[in-house]
Amino acid sequence: MHWLYLLFAFGTLLLAILSNGVGMLAFWLLASLALFIAWARGWFIARVGTDDQSAPMIIDPVELHRLREQAAARRQQASVAPVDADRPPA
């Protein structure tokens, strides 16, 4: 129903054109701008969407699990045998 914002934006633009005072002209123009921005936002959300669940996963769960296991193995290896850079090899 974002198209209603566009309809109201055109209506307020018409009211701005037909208004006599400068204050009312500014008010109707700002209202028209706000409604146009609301329409553009609604149109964008309708086209692109914001649902995070509908976005495809960049890494599949099997690959993610494999990468986590590799990272855990590297952390464990680093904690078991720390490298001392000051000591020369024997």
- What's the confidence (pLDDT) of residue 79? 87
Instruction: Give rounded-to-5 percent helix, strand, coil for the chain.
Output: 75, 0, 25
Per-residue confidence (pLDDT) for residue 86, from 0 to 100: 62
Any idea where the domains of the chain sit in the sequence? 1-49
Give me the amino acid identity at 54. Answer: S
Q: What is the pLDDT of residue 52?
A: 58
Average pLDDT, the chain: 86
pTM (predicted TM-score): 0.55
For 25, which DSSP code?
Answer: H
Query: One-letter amino acid identity for 9?
Result: A
Provide the pLDDT for residue 8: 96
**68 φ/ψ angles, rounded to the nearest 5 degrees:** -65, -40
